[in-house]
Amino acid sequence: MPRRLDPFSPRERVLLASLTEAGPGFYALVGLLLAVIAWGIIAYIVQLRYGLGVTGLRDNFMWGVYITNFVFFIGVSHVGALMSAILRITGAEWRRSVTRMAEAITFASLLMGALMPFVDMGRPDRILNLLLHGRLQSPLLWDIMAITTYLTGSTLFLFVPMIPDIALLRDRFAAGPAWRRRLYTILSLGWRGTEAQRRHLERIMGIMAIIIIPIAISVHTVVSWIFGMTLRAGWNSTVFGPYFVSGALFSGAAAVVTAMAAFRWAYRLQDYITEEHFRKMGYLVITLGMIYAYFTFAEYITPAYKMATSERGYLTAVFSGQFAPLFWFTQIGGVLLPLLLLTVPRISWVPRLARIPLLRPAPALATIVTSAVVLLLPAVLPRTAALGGFEVLRQLPFWIIAALGGWLFLTLLPVFRQRPIAAAVVASVLVNIAAWLKRFVIIVPTLQYPFLPIQRAPFGWAFYRPTWVEWSITAGAVAGFVLIYLLFSKVFPIVSIWETREEGHRSEAAPLSAGEHGGVADAPAP
Amino acid sequence: MGLTRRSFLKIVAAGTAAAAAPLAGSRFLGRFRVRPGSHLPALVASRETPGTVVQLSGLPDSGGDIAVAYAAEPNTRTGPGEAGRRWVMVIDLARCDGCRECTRACTAMHFVPPGQEWIRVYEMRDHEAAAPYWFPRPCMQCDNAPCVKVCPVSAAWKREDGIVMQDTSRCIGCRFCIAACPYGARSFNWVEPPHTPEELAKPDDIEWNFRHRKGTTEKCIFCPGLVKQGKLPACADACPMGAIYFGDQVEDAVTNSQGETIRFSELVKENAGYRSLEELGTEPRVYYLPPRKRLYPAPPSEPEPATAGGHR
C-alpha cells in the first residue's frame, strides 16, 4: 500500500491539489455546465410562461420525464447511506477513500431530485399550500418528509466526518483568500483534534451510520409508493418498495464508480483510488445488480404468468411492443452486460475471444461502424408505407442494432480484460443510462394502458413524446448535479485526508493514541 | 328564531326522524352565511311524489339568486354539501346511442377547456363475442375515492352528499389525482384555458366549475350548481335518449331527461345494474345498466386503434 509509506506533506499536497489548482479544463467545464444550466432555466421559464402544455405531458400521460428524473436522482442519492453507513458498520476499511465521494453524490443528487417534483408542478406558485394544507395521507407528503429528513441526515453525514479536514484546511489556508479562511473557520466548529473531540466525532458518526440506513430505505420506498399506492396496472405492486430500493442502490453504486474514475483521472489520485478500489466496488455493484435483477424478475414474472386483462396491455408493450427496445436494453445493456464487464478480469475464456477472426478489434470495429451508419440512414429518411404491414421488417433495424451491439461487446471484451478500470467505467455508465430508462419504462407504459382505453384523445395526446423543454430541463439538472459535485471537490478535499491516514489500522474503534492519531491540525505544515 | 344552523339541524333531525328528507337543503343554505335569526324553511319532501328532482328533493327555489349570492365572494370551498343527500347517477347503456349530446352539453355549460371531456363517451367491447356498446363516463364520485386519498393539499375532497369536489384555487398541479384515478375522469389545464366572454361574465364559482385555471386539475362534479336549482346535471338533462338518470340515493329516486322518475334501487336491481371496475373497490356513485337489447345501432365493431388493451 503505497500511501502508508507516503510522508505526510506530499500526501496532503496531492489530496489538496484539487483545491488550489484549476486549469483551463476546469474553467471550460464549468462554463459548459453553466451554459447547459442556463439553457435549462430558459426552458423552465418557457414552461412557467406557457404552462406544462409545452411539455409532451397530457391527461393520459400526466407524469413523464420529470418524474423519471426524480426517481433517478433520488435513487442515485442512496449510495451515500450505502457507502458511509453500511460499509462503515461492516468495517470495510477500503471504503475510506471513496466515502466522501459517495456522500457528495448523495448531497448533489438529492438536491436535483428534490427539485424535480417542483419543476413538474402545474402551480409552483402555490408551493406553500403543501405546508398550509398538507395532508398526511398523501404519499406526496411522505416523500417530502422522507426526502427532507434524508437530505438533512446525509448533509450532516457528509459534514461531520469532514470537520477534521476542514480544520486542516483552516490552518493550511491561513494565507489563502479571505472567503476560504472564513468558510473553513466557521465550518471547522473549533476543531482542535483533542481526544474528547475525536471521541465525540466517532460517536456521532457511529449513531448517524445506524440512523441513516432506515431513513435511506424509507426515502426510496415512499418514492416508489407514489406509484405503488395507485390502482394502475403495472404500478399496483407490493414489491415496488424493495424493488426501487434495490434499483437505487445499484445505480448509486455505479455512479460512485464513475465518479471514482473521473476524480482519479482529473485529480491524479491513483495512489488513493487504486485498482483494488475498483475491484471492490465492482463486487458491490455486481451484488447489488443481482439483487436488482432478482427483483425485476419477481416484479414482471408474477403478472406476466397470469396475463390478467388489465396487465396484458403494458406487459405486451414492454416485452414485445413499442417499449420493448427500451426495456430489453435496460435488462441486457443495463444489467447483464455491466455485470459481465465487471467480472471480465476473472473470466478465463475472454482472452480466447481475441483469437476469433470476426472479433479482431480493427476489422470488427470498422464493419460495425459502417453497418451502423448504413442502418441509420433509412431511419432518418421518412418511413415508407410499404414497410407498414410487416411487423418483422419494421423490427429488423432493432434486431440488427442489437446484433451489432453484441458483436461490439464481444470484440471489446478482451480489451476490457486488459483495462479493468475502463471496463468498470463503461459498466457503470451503462448501468446509469439504463437506470434512467428503466424508470421511464416503469412510468410510461402503464400510462399507455389505463383501465379505460385511451380514446378520443386530441391529436398527439394518445402517445407520450417528451419535448425539447423536458430534455433541456433534464440536461440542466444533470449539469447542475455535475456542477455542485465539481465545486464541492474544489472547496473540500474529495478524499478524506484524516480517514485515509487511519486506513490500515485494525479497526477505527481501536483506542487512539496521540502518537498514531495526532489531531490533523497538529500535522506539520508542508 | 335565534338558532344556529347546527342546532336548527338537530331540532329538525329529531323532530322528523320518520322522514330523512326534511334535512334537505338546510345544510347547504349555510353556504349563504345564514345568520342566526334568518328564516329557514323546513322542507318536507314526499318520496311518493313522482316528478323531477326538485320536487323530490324539496330544494328551495333559489333560482338565479345563487349566482348572485356567489358573486359577492368567489366560492372556493363548499363545505360538506347537502345534508342527508347521496347523489347518484344511473346510466342505461341499452339506451345510449353514442350521440355525445351529454359531452356537448357539459362542455357548453362548464366552458370545458379544449381537449377535455368531463363526460367522455367510450366505444367499448368487453370481449370478441360481445357486441360493442357506448359507455359514457362522467366522474364516478367514488365513495372510496383514490384521487381524494392522494391529494396532498385537499384540493380534492369528498362531500357528505357524495360529490368529490375539486378546488382549482388550491390545487398545486401535481397531477397525483390524475395518476390515481382508474377511470381517467380527471383533466389538467396544461395551458391557460381560453376564457370566453360568456365564461368571464359568470361568477367564479367552484360549484359551477369555472373559472378554469392554468396548471390545475378539473373534472365532472355532478353539477351541484344546477342540482341546487332543482335541475338535472347538464349531461343528464341533455341526453335525448333519457339514458342518464340522476337523483338522490337516500330518497331512492332517480330522474332522466324524459321526466321519468324511478326508484333507484328497483332500477338497478331489476336491470342487473353494475358499477365500472367494481373490483377496484372505489365504490363509485355511478351505476350502469348493461347494454342489453339496445335500442340503437351499435358502434362499429372495430374500435379506434388506440382502444386496445383496456376493458370496461
Asked if A127's CB is within 8 angstroms of B170's CB, the reply is no
Q: Is A90 on the interface with B (CB under 8 A)?
A: no
Asked if A135's CB is within 8 angstroms of B216's CB, the reply is no
Q: Is A59 on the interface with B (CB under 8 A)?
A: yes
At residue B215 the predicted structure's pLDDT band, cuts being 50, 70 and 90, is: very high
Per the CB < 8 A criterion, the answer to whether A296 and A319 are in contact is no
CB atoms within 10 A of CB B69: 16
Please say if the pLDDT value at position B75 is more than 50.
no
Q: For chain B, what are the domain ranges?
A: 5-71, 87-307
Asked if A126's CB is within 8 angstroms of B172's CB, the reply is yes
Q: Which residue of A has its CA nearest to B148?
A: A138
Interface test mutation site (partner B, options A222, A449, A456, A463, max chain B beta carbons within 10 A): A456
Give the per-residue pLDDT at A483: 96
Helices (H), A267-308: 275-306
In this structure, what C-alpha cell is assigned to residue B175?
397531477
Chain B hits for A227, CB-CB cut-off 8 Å, are 179
**pLDDT > 70: what percent of chain A?**
89
Determine the Cα–Cα distance for residues B154 and A486; give it in Å rounded to an integer: 41
Please say if the pLDDT value at position B27 is more than 80.
no
Per the CB < 8 A criterion, the answer to whether A180 and A201 are in contact is no
Please say if the pLDDT value at position B217 is more than 90.
yes
Per the CB < 8 A criterion, the answer to whether A310 and A451 are in contact is yes
B309 vs A413 pLDDT, higher one: A413
Nearest-by-Cβ selection for A62 from B179, B215, B312? B179
Please say if the pLDDT value at position A509 is more than 80.
no
Nearest-by-Cβ selection for B150 from A138, A309, A313? A138
Please say if the pLDDT value at position A386 is more than 90.
no
Q: A228 to chain B nearest CA, in Å? A: 10
Please say if the pLDDT value at position B76 is more than 60.
no
Please say if the pLDDT value at position A1 is more than 90.
no
Lowest mean pLDDT among A68-77, A482-491, B66-75: B66-75
Helices (H), chain B: 5-15, 26-29, 53-57, 65-71, 101-110, 146-150, 176-180, 197-201, 224-228, 234-238, 264-270
Chain A hits for B216, CB-CB cut-off 8 Å, are 122-123
Q: Which residue of A has its CA nearest to B279?
A: A231
Please say if the pLDDT value at position A504 is more than 60.
no
Give the per-residue pLDDT at B42: 30
At residue A4 the predicted structure's pLDDT band, cuts being 50, 70 and 90, is: very low
Q: A233 to chain B nearest CA, in Å? A: 9
Q: Is A381 on the interface with B (CB under 8 A)?
A: no
Asked if B153's CB is within 8 angstroms of A449's CB, the reply is no
Output phi, psi for A258, to 5 deg. -60, -45
Nearest-by-Cβ selection for B311 from A137, A309, A316? A309
At residue A302 the predicted structure's pLDDT band, cuts being 50, 70 and 90, is: very high
Tens digits of per-residue pLDDT, A473-493? 999 999 999 999 999 988 888
- Contacts across the A-B interface (CB distance below 8 Å): 172
Section B162-175 average pLDDT:
92
Determine the Cα–Cα distance for residues A485 and A157; give it in Å rounded to an integer: 16
Interface test mutation site (partner A, options B122, B123, B175, max chain A beta carbons within 10 A): B175
Helical pair A391-418 and A361-380, crossing angle rounded to 10 deg: 150
Give the per-residue pLDDT at B249: 93
Q: B89 to chain A nearest CA, in Å? A: 19
Section A352-377 average pLDDT:
75
Chain B hits for A315, CB-CB cut-off 8 Å, are none
A416 vs A121 pLDDT, higher one: A121
At residue B310 the predicted structure's pLDDT band, cuts being 50, 70 and 90, is: very low
Section B159-187 average pLDDT:
93
* Residue located via cell numbers 396475463: A307
In the stretch 432-471 of chain A, residues with CB closer than 8 A to chain B read: 447-458, 461-462
Determine the Cα–Cα distance for residues A512 and A518; give it in Å rounded to an integer: 9
Tens digits of per-residue pLDDT, A173-213? 776 788 888 888 888 888 888 889 999 998 998 888 889 99
Determine the Cα–Cα distance for residues B222 and B139; give it in Å rounded to an integer: 8
Q: For chain A, what are the domain ranges?
A: 1-231+466-504
Give the per-residue pLDDT at B308: 38
**pLDDT > 90: what percent of chain A?**
48
B42 vs A263 pLDDT, higher one: A263
Please say if the pLDDT value at position B37 is more than 70.
no
Q: Is A308 on the interface with B (CB under 8 A)?
A: no
Per the CB < 8 A criterion, the answer to whether B242 and B90 are in contact is no
Lowest mean pLDDT among A116-130, A186-200, A369-383, B120-134: A369-383
Section A23-44 average pLDDT:
94
Tens digits of per-residue pLDDT, A450-468? 999 999 888 888 899 999 9
In this structure, what C-alpha cell is assigned to residue A176?
489563502
- A89 Cα distance to chain centroid: 23
Chain B hits for A450, CB-CB cut-off 8 Å, are 182, 184, 310
At residue A94 the predicted structure's pLDDT band, cuts being 50, 70 and 90, is: confident
Q: B245 forms bridges with which residues in the sheet?
A: B90
Q: Is A130 on the interface with B (CB under 8 A)?
A: yes
Give the per-residue pLDDT at B45: 31
**pLDDT averaged over every residue in chain A:** 84
- Topology given in CATH for the domain delimited by B87-307: Alpha-Beta Plaits (3.30.70)
Scored b (16 or more CB within 10 A) or e, A483-512 reads bbbbebbebbbbbbbbbbbbbeeeebeeeb
Give the per-residue pLDDT at B190: 95
At residue B135 the predicted structure's pLDDT band, cuts being 50, 70 and 90, is: very high
Q: Where are the beta strands (DSSP E) in B96-163?
A: 120-124, 133-137, 156-158
